[in-house]
């Protein structure tokens, strides 16, 4: 099988291939295997050779000289356009919100591909990533207290595991706050795994009714299903900040950043209770 060519044929290559087929023809008919021989010799597909032969025969029918040159005349392809990357800094920011707007501001309207090439070229100028060693990422995650089905390997004489719940269709779940940072290594040895902690949103609630298992008023651990801003702030202040104080070491100078997502229950960096606790712990967060 002959592989396809990426580059277009020149007029000289076309004529050589056509005259080779012409030499292997008798009375306007190609000899058996003539197309295949041209296919192997010139590394062309069968369809290209056939089209060249067909164009030459059409010239013969019209009484013209054989002409299988390329039909493209003059300058072909998209317009060459070169942009100066230093011009971008002089354009107002409101005209640089997307590639189409930037192309229009630089006088290259309709040549968005050129701006894309400019973008690729600028990315190759020694790109660097932020180390984010002083960043702690926090996020919330739901976990079910149990699974509907679970496998255990037991011996023949052991009792089968037994567990009850109110409903298998509505298993209770608990929200956790996860806090992780980038791990640290020294001489190939991990000196900090980056795990700050996993903190459940739970509270102690007194039982409203008595049962066979406990009397009324017994404190029970219950999940907090409504995690609002006050609950989230209490978790950050009472759980996360002390954990950071305990596990964090001053590897690098500078403040520690707690990176949140865009949930509405999250607090801002100007929160009074948060900043008061940070100052009390003598930390820069």
For 112, residues 6+ apart whose C-beta sits below 8 A from its C-beta are: 99, 100, 103
Reading the block at residue 107, the tokens are 């006088």
Tokens of 55: 């164009």
For residue 181, which of 278, 82, 249 has the smallest C-alpha distance? 249
Tokens of 206: 């007194």
Residue 45 has pLDDT above 60, yes or no: yes
pLDDT at 3: 47
Average model confidence (pLDDT) across the chain: 82
pLDDT of residue 1: 45
259 Cα distance to chain centroid: 19
Q: Which two tokens stand for residue 140?
A: 């919330």
SS3 breakdown of the chain: % helix, strand, coil, rounded to 5?
35, 15, 50
How far is residue 171's CA from residue 257's CA, in Å, rounded to a whole number? 36
User: Cβ distance 112 to 152 under 8 Å?
Assistant: no
* Tens digit of each residue's pLDDT (9 = 90 or more) over 183-219: 999 898 999 999 999 999 999 999 999 988 889 999 9
Indicate the pLDDT class of residue 164, thresholds 50, 70 and 90. Answer: confident
pLDDT of residue 170 exceeding 80, the answer is yes
How would residue 117 be classed by pLDDT, with cut points 50, 70 and 90?
A: low
What are residue 199's phi and psi, to 5 degrees?
-115, 120
Shortest CA distance to 175 belongs to which of 136, 203, 194?
203
| Cα separation, 99 vs 109, whole angstroms | 10
């Amino acid at each position: 099988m002959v592989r396809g060519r990426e580059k277009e044929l020149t007029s000289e290559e076309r004529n050589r291939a056509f005259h080779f087929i012409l030499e292997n023809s008798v009375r306007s008919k190609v000899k058996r295997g003539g197309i295949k021989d041209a296919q192997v010799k010139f590394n062309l597909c069968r369809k290209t050779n056939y089209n060249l032969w067909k164009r030459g025969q059409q010239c013969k029918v019209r009484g013209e000289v054989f002409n299988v040159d390329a039909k493209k005349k003059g300058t072909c392809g998209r317009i060459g356009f070169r942009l100066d990357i230093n011009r971008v800094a002089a354009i107002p920011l409101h005209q640089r919100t997307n590639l189409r707007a930037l192309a229009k501001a630089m006088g290259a309207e309709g040549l968005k591909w050129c701006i894309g090439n400019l973008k690729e070229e600028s990315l190759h100028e020694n790109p660097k990533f932020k180390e984010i060693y002083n960043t702690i990422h926090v996020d919330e995650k739901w976990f079910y207290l149990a699974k509907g089905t679970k496998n255990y390997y037991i011996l023949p004489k052991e009792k089968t595991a037994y567990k009850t719940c109110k409903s298998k269709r509505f298993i209770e779940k608990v929200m956790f706050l996860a806090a992780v940072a980038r791990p640290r290594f020294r001489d190939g040895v991990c000196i900090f795994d980056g795990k700050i902690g996993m903190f459940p949103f739970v509270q102690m609630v007194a039982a409203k009714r008595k049962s066979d298992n406990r009397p009324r008023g017994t404190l029970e651990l219950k999940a907090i299903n409504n995690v609002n801003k006050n609950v989230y702030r209490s978790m950050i202040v009472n759980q996360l900040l002390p954990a950071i104080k305990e596990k964090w070491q001053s590897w690098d100078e500078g403040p520690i950043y707690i990176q949140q997502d865009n949930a509405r229950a999250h607090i801002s960096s100007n929160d009074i209770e948060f900043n008061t606790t940070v100052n009390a712990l003598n930390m820069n967060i």
